[in-house]
Structure 1
């Protein structure tokens, strides 16, 4: 490849790296800065889910149809995931504190303006800008935790990051219910403003100010930015619009999938050889980091059993509104504020093997999926509480230890590389998991409906048309019940893969240790 040859000939000369900034002593002021980043990151994740759940109500307010409204979600998701790729690089270049304040304020400003959008085009533009700003925040949280936290509380910082995967997504349903059932719909967008302003203020007060490092532009991986961001954006749009446009029957989906299939492999090749990459693929040679990436991406599928599937069943079969579905989400969300630090406290012991904690957590999630597979058309909200309790305990037992295993092999100066890879892949597989679930439900519902209707047709001779209509409605409801039961069984296969990976890939790791005196 010409790029490789030029690099070997010395065409690309690495600029002398700037000395790393002196670590600031950890105190209450820096702790407040970390809390500010946590608030901003949680707000970003919650905003994405709330607007997605409240989309049917928002379409009526803006006078949009379903097909037009799906682009509101697609545009935001594509911008969010693509920006996660470059956020750590930008934070290091422009200084973490300055960059975090700017993107947090921009994120809040776009939310404030969205209700006043006069048409679909302006609303999409605001959502793209908000997605770009919001996508920068979760990677900054991991970068800050790896850089600033001293060894004895690092696991508690990682447990705070774990809240973005366990607490935030499950809090979205209750917030949606509050804003759409009895409050002003504008709060769906405006709910982020107080948290955003508080987060920006705490960041400005607590985080130290690094110098600008504009010399990094000499080694800007512009090829990687174009290939990576473009490929990810095309893939996300294809995944979120594929079901509506009938996948390969649509020329747009074909072009997007082809574009992603070409650009993403080229992006990975470029990153392997670039002197200052966005993705440092060499980190995957470390077994525990590779395990963390693999497990976290597959966990995005399993987490659907705790939030999306019960909510879809209660909404589609029992006719629940978000306010009625809210308690099952709170059963998982609220305990995370206590359970995540508790898990960090447990694995912060040298005699505790984090791999066994992950195995126990996967066991609890397996029990929850087995219980969900027994779903019938008689189930109501209260029947899910026991399953939600298993999820509430099992999810942090998986996420917090895998973060310890993955980041334990990462040097603090490699934090931005690790943060970019972890957050981009986690967000991308969240979209993939949602798309897979949507297509699975559609395919299995059609299968079960056809099977049940075939059996009904053999016995329906002589029945009145009114009776047949009523029976057809019950058949459709039963088809959805069987479909959701199949979804729980399918997730057991994903958990089985996670157990196989756990048994083969990670090595024994110990919690962070005090630095060795010279």
Structure 2
């Protein structure tokens, strides 16, 4: 029995690990459900497009504000204080949101919801290493890694199921059930610990505030950039400049304070610098594969989540459950750099295959692409995380994890925002280029209009001609969107190639529990 346990009950460390891993899945699923289900949420809550866009930003940005500091706060206050209360409050807020219709109240509730959600993921790896025997570390890391790709792809299916079968409210209410379970597991598994007052006395509050607020401003700018047209918007420019100034202040603060919270020295080794650059490439490619494919099926094929979700569930999410243990076995025998290279190569091949698509491609045509993406997510991401752990200094774990949050949240947002802008701009370019070949009076155009007009002949000559023009314009836009998505996959292909080049420049990791032949 450990001292300080209520009633003499000894904690069960594996339950604490189960709690933080469940928190990771809760965060991953809610982020995906909210993003895919936003059109349904807007309709149910009576929001216009601008209100819906700002609601999305307010719901997600607070994660960036709090997540980097969570590992340090857990080290100071303990897992019980940082997870049980927030999990119960999170469940209560999740219950209230679907019952609310006042927009300002919705914004406040979503901001609180996002801040609480930001507490669930960042400390997971630290708790795994503190609570499990070393031989189980890689298994815990594998489950942690699995949740990213699994929730990204299974979330589409789950969104369709909730909105069509149970009601849109369950996009929130599933967490009313899951969050208390996480709190219970934490109560049973985490020991009662005293506040580390020595560490608290050395708190670098200035660094945490500058880091969190600065990156949150950049996050908001990225999230709103595509909608507000980037540098043509004073709001976006102000957020980017303000975020950059605060982040520069954070770097200066870390250089002068006696006990920096997130020392930049953890980034000074060649392997770590290359790892972070590769992580941005990997995150971008993984995000593109998780977003471009379903976006094509939604925009071009006009399919709803329940129609596209089956492909992503059966061809990406579930195969990952099988591939992840295989990846662990391979990583026991093969250098993580080679496994990471194979994951990026799989992403590149998937993107290259997808460039051959046409507007007729249905979900069944993407099975091979999806399976390759599952391999890339499983083998590549696990190798990336294990290589990062093998090159990190355990004494500076809270600093290293703080920077990891930039990649986890800001890297993903950067990828989705840039891809959204890229697809939008390329669609405009292709629409213009196709339109240059559709000149009034051209024989082929006249023949096409005549054929389309005959389909609407019952509406009268004038109405039939107008409907024919509208149909032809829709066909042009459909082809333009198809070409734009092909361009997005081409971009993903080249980013994957850049990632492979960066991996080739990495050095061997120092011997330890996360290098091959010593894993497990």
- Normalised by the length of structure 2, the TM-score is 0.89
Q: Is the 8 A contact 1:227 1:264 kept in 2?
A: yes
| RMSD (CA atoms) | 2.2
1:102-149 Cα deviation digits (max 9, x unpaired): 222232222111112241111111111111111121111122123333
Go from structure 1 to structure 2 and tell me whether the alpha carbon gap of 1:46 and 1:278 turns closer, same or farther (over 3 Å shift).
farther
Distance in 2 of aligned mates of 1:513 and 1:404 = 6
Deviation at 1:270, TM superposition (A): 1.8
Change (3 A) 1:399 1:53: same
Q: Deviation per CA, 1:204-248, whole angstroms, max 9, x where unpaired? A: 111223221134343222221222122112111111112222223
Match of 2:347 among 335, 352, 365: 365
Residue of structure 2 in register with 1:326 after alignment: 309
How far apart, CA to CA, are the structure 2 residues paired with 1:266 and 1:55?
35
- Distance in 2, matches of 1:293 and 1:209, equals 35
Change in 2 beyond 3 A, CA 1:210/1:187: same
Whether the aligned pair in 1 keeps the contact of 2:21 and 2:144 (CA below 8 Å) is: yes
Instruction: Give CA deviations for 1:276-301 in whole Å, capped at 9, x if unaligned.
Output: 33322211123333333322222121
Residue 157 to residue 274, structure 1, CA distance change in 2 (3 Å)? farther
1:375 aligns with 2:357: yes
Separation (CA, whole Å) in 1 of partners of 2:410 and 2:258:
25
| CA distance in 2 between partners of 1:74 and 1:510 (Å) | 42
Contact kept? 1:305, 1:369, Cα under 8 Å: no
Are 1:389 and 2:363 matched, yes or no?
A: no
- 1:420 aligned partner: 402
Number of aligned residue pairs: 488
Single out whichever of 463-472 and 42-51 deviates more from structure 2. Answer: 463-472
* 2:336 paired residue number: 354
Q: SS of the counterpart of 2:400?
A: helix
Aligned ranges for residues 22-421 of structure 1 at < 5 Å? 29-330=12-313, 331-349=315-333, 352-421=334-403
Q: Is the 8 A contact 1:155 1:348 kept in 2?
A: no
Distance (Å, rounded) in 1 between the aligned partners of 2:514 and 2:162 = 45
Structure 1 unmatched ranges of 5 or more: 1-26
- CA–CA distance in structure 1, aligned partners of residues 234 and 276 of structure 2: 33
Between 432-441 and 130-139, report the one with greater CA deviation: 130-139
Matched residue SS, 2:348? helix
**Counterparts of 1:294 and 1:148 in 2: how far apart (Å)?**
30
Structure 2: gaps spanning 5 or more residues: 1-9, 450-464
**Change in 2 beyond 3 A, CA 1:344/1:275:** farther
Cα shift readout 1:439-467 (whole Å, capped 9, x = no counterpart)? 00110000000110111125246854433
Structure 1 position 439 matched with structure 2 position 440: no
Displacement, 1:95? 1.1
Tell me the SS of whatever aligns to 1:54. Answer: helix
Name the structure 2 match of 1:4. none
Q: Could you tell me how far 1:509 is from its partner in structure 2?
A: 4.9
Call closer, same or farther: CA 1:422–1:111 in 2, change over 3 Å: same
For 1:6, the equivalent position in structure 2 comes to none
Q: Within 2, Cα distance between the matches of 1:154 and 1:68?
A: 44
CA shift at 1:67, angstroms?
Answer: 0.5
CA distance in 1, matches of 2:185, 2:136: 20
Residue 500 (structure 2) aligns with: 499
| Structure-1 separation of matches of 2:113 and 2:43 | 22
